[in-house]
Amino acid sequence: MVLAILEGPILHAGLAMPSSMDQFSGLTPISSWTSPVEIRTGVNSGEIRLVYSIPTEFYVNTEFYVNNEISFDYGDFNIPLMTPLTSPDSAIDLINDLELLNSAASTKGWVLFPTANSCFRVKGNDTLNPSSSGSGIITHYDRLHYLRALEGKVEGGEFQIKDVVTSSSTFQPRVDGIEKIFFDNTEGVLSVYVLARGNKQGGRP
């Protein structure tokens, strides 16, 4: 169960992300995170942090593009989106679960495009704002991704998950009977070791 919970976020960690986590410095909940896959040490040993993205059905509409690409550079810009079954519409009309627009306090409201090598804050309607160091192009038919972040740890015999939306997000127990979890990231291969225990009956293990 622990591996099933972690599998999706791990396999999508870094997907569509900028080459440097520095571009997330303006996003308060994860501003201090150093990598899309961060294994914590010291007093936080046994914890993992994951920054990942979720592909959506929305893609950029090429009708508004010049030479099949759109350029962006620091300032706000508009980007037309559509789905296979809809006509061009505004980002907010299509993406109903984005929250706290133009807010640096929530991971919701931030999106990514794989070809852009940048992250974007949704400011309203179909307006995006690239991160402070962001500039480049988004190519035609590029798919929109939601930004997500997660922390996992073991505490009190439970595997707990924090869906990092704001700085006040809290850990929630997900799997009972977990004594310890170990992570090892060697040459880009992440190994996860889970030490679990059986149930007890009448006070006896």
Tell me which DSSP letter residue 102 carries: T
CB 112 within 8 A of CB 104: no
Q: Which amino acid is at 172?
A: Q
CB atoms within 10 A of CB 36: 22
Task: State the average pLDDT over residues 50-63.
Answer: 83
Task: State the average pLDDT over residues 186-205.
Answer: 81
Tell me which DSSP letter residue 22 carries: G
Instruction: Give the tokens for residue 159.
Output: 């595997």
Q: What are phi and psi of 130, to 5 degrees?
A: -70, 160
Q: Which residue has the higher pLDDT, 101 or 90?
A: 101
What's the chain's average pLDDT?
81
Task: State the average pLDDT over residues 87-115.
Answer: 66
User: Residue 189 — left, alpha, or beta (φ > 0 → left; ψ -120 to 50 → alpha)?
Assistant: beta
182 falls in which pLDDT band (50, 70, 90)? very high
pTM of the complete model: 0.83
Q: What is the pLDDT of residues 1-37, one digit of tens each?
A: 999 999 999 999 999 888 788 888 888 899 999 999 9
pLDDT of residue 106: 84
pLDDT above 70: residue 95: no
